[in-house]
């Protein structure tokens, strides 16, 4: 059975999130510190990942 990889990963890096939302990395850090913005996971050792669905929700909400 051949599986096709998902075109967009479920978890996004801060750089990918920054590009989608058109916000700089410092602003994403501020959002994390204040528990606002898209849902994120702190995987330890400086690894932060954002939930793609949450990033897209923030992007569409901000566009209104």
pLDDT score of 62:
77
Q: Residue ranges of the domains in the chain?
A: 14-62
Alpha-carbon dihedral 8, 14, 15, 19, rounded to 10 degrees: 70
Distance of alpha carbon 52 from alpha carbon 39, whole angstroms: 9
pLDDT score of 37:
95
| Main-chain dihedrals φ then ψ at residue 6, nearest 5 degrees | -65, 135
Cβ-proximal residues to 40 (8 Å cutoff; 6+ apart), any chain: 32, 48, 49, 50, 51, 54
Mean pLDDT by 10 residues, the chain (64 residues): 72 98 98 96 96 95 76
pLDDT score of 49:
98
């Amino acid at each position: 059975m051949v599986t096709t990889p998902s075109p967009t990963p479920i978890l996004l890096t801060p750089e990918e999130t920054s590009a989608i939302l058109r916000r700089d990395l410092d602003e994403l850090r501020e959002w994390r510190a204040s528990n606002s913005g898209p849902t994120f996971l702190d995987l330890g050792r400086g690894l932060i990942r954002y939930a793609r669905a949450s990033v897209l929700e923030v992007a569409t909400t901000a566009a209104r």
